[in-house]
Amino acid sequence: MYALYFGNMNYSSWSLRPWLLLRHFEIPFEAHRVSVCGRGPNDDHRPYSPNGLVPCLHVDGFPVFDTLAIAEFLAERHPGLWPADWKARARARSVAAEMHSGFGALRGAMPMNVRMKCKGVMPAPAVAEDITRIAAIWTEAREVFATDAEPWLFGAFSVADAMFAPVVWRFATYNVDLPPVAAAYRDAMLAHPAMREWERGAQAEREALPAYDALAAEFGGLRAPE
């Protein structure tokens, strides 16, 4: 039996990834939402997460922690979480790992904030470089490995899509301009039923991180509701 401990749906980008995988692949799990008010390990999480961070997946009570480790664990047990073709699978693993360890400028300047909708401004050069690289990853995956039958990066939905899901929310929140192929992928992800479910959960939350919300002013203020 799986139990997933995950943080605020509005802010916790790492938590979204395994939650989305479990939802998309219809893998049953108990959902344990916990409050995450800030970054870094928290002693409040240690009773259920050895490293003091979420997400943490419990498997019959045994904890599996770190987002990518959770994804790989699930892929060992449930077929189809990585592409079947070896080249597509290798590239999907490469870009998932790049997302896991990289794009620090984007993460710092544009923290995930599902409830917020900003007008958008020209990002700083380092952030623009991250945006360009992510758009290139999405475009290559769609043009080289995907098919017209499904809108995901490597054809069927995979761990790679879950790893980039928080960036999809960032691009939507901060009103980031994207080239056509990347924009179409962003829109497909935003329409995913589980992503919509996550958004509803974020909208229902009452916790606030003022430092994150204040970034709206740096990105041209708030947009009118759509």
pLDDT in tens, 100-137: 999 999 999 999 999 999 998 889 999 999 999 999 99
Q: Which domains does the chain have, with CATH numbers?
A: 2-77 (3.40.30.10), 86-210 (1.20.1050)
Please answer whether residues 169 and 114 qualify as being in contact, where contact means their C-beta atoms are separated by less than 8 angstroms. Answer: yes
Q: What is the mean pLDDT of residues 197-218?
A: 88
Q: Helix, strand, coil proportions of the chain in percent (round to 5)?
A: 50, 10, 40
Predicted pLDDT of residue 112: 94
Contacts of 83 (CB under 8 A, 6+ apart): 89, 92, 145, 154, 155, 156, 158
**Residue 10, pLDDT above cutoff 90:** yes
Model confidence at 169, pLDDT cuts 50, 70, 90, reads very high
43-56, pLDDT tens digit by residue? 788 899 999 999 99
Q: What angle do CA 144, 149, 178 make, to 5 degrees?
A: 55
**11-38 tens-digit pLDDT:** 999 999 999 999 999 999 999 999 876 6
Residues in the chain: 226
